[in-house]
Amino acid sequence: MDHTLRIISMSFSMSLWIQGLLSENGNISTESVHFRLVGGASRCHGDMEMKQQDENWKPVEGLYWYRKLGNRVCAELDCGSAVSVRRRWGGSEIDCWSIRPLCDEPSLSDCFTSETRLYSHLELKCSDSVRLVHGSSLCSGRLEVRSNQSWSSVCEEDLNLKDAEVVCRELGCGAPSVLQGGLYGEGEAPVWTSELQCEGREAAVLDCRRSSSAGKTCSPKTAVGLTCTGGVRLVGQLSRCAGALEIQHQGQWRPAGDPYELWDLKSGSAVCQHLNCGSAVSVKRRKNAPSRPKWWISVPCVRLTSGLRDCVELDDPFNHSSAVDVMCSDLLLQPNISLSEGVFGVYQQGFRVLIGSNFTITCSVQPQYPGGSFQLISNTEEPLNLTLPAVNHSAHFLLTDMGYAHRGDYTCVYHVNAFNHSLSSQSPALYLTVGDLVTNLIIRMVVVPLLLIIGNISLYFYCRASGGHLRLKARNTG
């Protein structure tokens, strides 16, 4: 019964979302709006409440919240960065504030409308004492630490890998990958006058030991910037560029849930680009996914931002939402192209072969998927377009009676069917030029000896001239 009620409440809230998209009415005034977090361990952790002017504090309905939006509230409260957002379920009909979906207004208060039903409300946790600013996501930016009610930059020399591990952990991000001074600008914040001495296991930066450096200043371009790694992967297939989408958040890897079934090629391409895997070829929802905790992902947020983890919404309280399978265009390894038999010699960036000769071009790829075929193409005066099946992940193309019309670039294209799709990957281009035996003999028998003779004569006159100068110098000094 409780499960059914939640499903009904989600459907009702979804209809409110659509109504909000179609109407601009109901926005609250931007004057005298205040936020607070209550019931948590600190003023930067708890259930979110809001009030306008002299009205009473009311909870905020939490259906459409995701991490990046929660980060704006943390900033309003001067509480660092958003670490997590959670939905706390209710069921009563009480006054509350509701967030408009995908709100990106300059003033956060413009994102809210007044509602009378509350099916869930938001619990927000901010980092309180540490934040990354001016980065490309919530897990990258210039490091600032809060101390004595103000934010301070940290010098590059005062932060090592163990310190960075604690920072990334406190922010709910992955392990540190980039640690560099001046990476995200200098900023206007004063310099933190303590040097961190973390052991790497602490939960927060302020739990670490510190040594004081009163009056310290950073050298130019040494305010440390930090990027925390990863957090996104595709698993369950032979390639890292295909599989079930998983997100790492708060130290946990979970499948990416799809409660509203909004995933498409555009949002899938954001995943592929994050993994340097090209663009999305296929995005499918697996409704028979294992029943395990999932992260809900705000798909509209994914389409608008490069920080996938910034779009983590909330825990999936039902474990019923479908998982997401993504296949990217660059999931195939790049094939190789090489020559064998009849190679005459290396010529600039390619190879020279004899006119009228026969030789073999070999296309190959590292074992990844069975079967497939190789296509050999050229941009020569007489273009080639040959196809052979892949045998042991390679194919050998015998080319005969080479002529000047065969000079140009040759490329191998590997084709294979995988995941019910036709996929292909192209090798680098290989340049071939064609030479004849007579020209080669002239080069070897005339041009090369002539160059040697000219070189020897030049060396003789140089040595003779140098010797004359030395004898003249000896007479003058005698």
Q: Please name every residue paired with 50 in a beta bridge, in sequence order, or none if there are none.
A: 35, 58
State the burial class of residue 413 (Cβ atoms within 10 Å of its Cβ: 0-12, 13-18, 19+). middle
pLDDT at 439: 52
- In the structure, what pLDDT confidence band is assigned to residue 374 with cuts at 50, 70 and 90? very high
Average of per-residue pLDDT across 185-193: 67
pLDDT of residue 386 exceeding 70? yes
Report yes or no: 209 and 184 within 8 Å, Cβ to Cβ: no
The residues, ordered by sequence, that sit 6+ positions from 238 with a Cβ below 8 Å of its Cβ are 368, 369
pLDDT of residue 286 exceeding 70? yes
- The larger pLDDT score, comparing residue 394 to residue 470, is at 394
When mean pLDDT is compared across 24-33, 41-50, 157-166, 408-417, the lowest value belongs to: 24-33
Residue 298 has phi, psi (to 5 degrees) of: -80, 100
What's CA 320's distance to the chain center, in Å? 28
pLDDT in tens, 210-260: 876 655 667 766 788 888 876 789 998 878 888 899 988 777 788 887 666
What's CA 456's distance to the chain center, in Å? 59
pLDDT in tens, 326-340: 988 888 888 999 887
- The larger pLDDT score, comparing residue 27 to residue 224, is at 224
pTM: 0.61
All structural domains of the chain, each given as residue ranges with its CATH number in brackets, are: 2-126 (3.10.250.10), 130-228 (3.10.250.10), 232-328 (3.10.250.10), 336-435 (2.60.40.10)
Six token digits for residue 297 = 């992902």
| pLDDT over 90 percentage in the chain | 11
The residue type of 107 is S
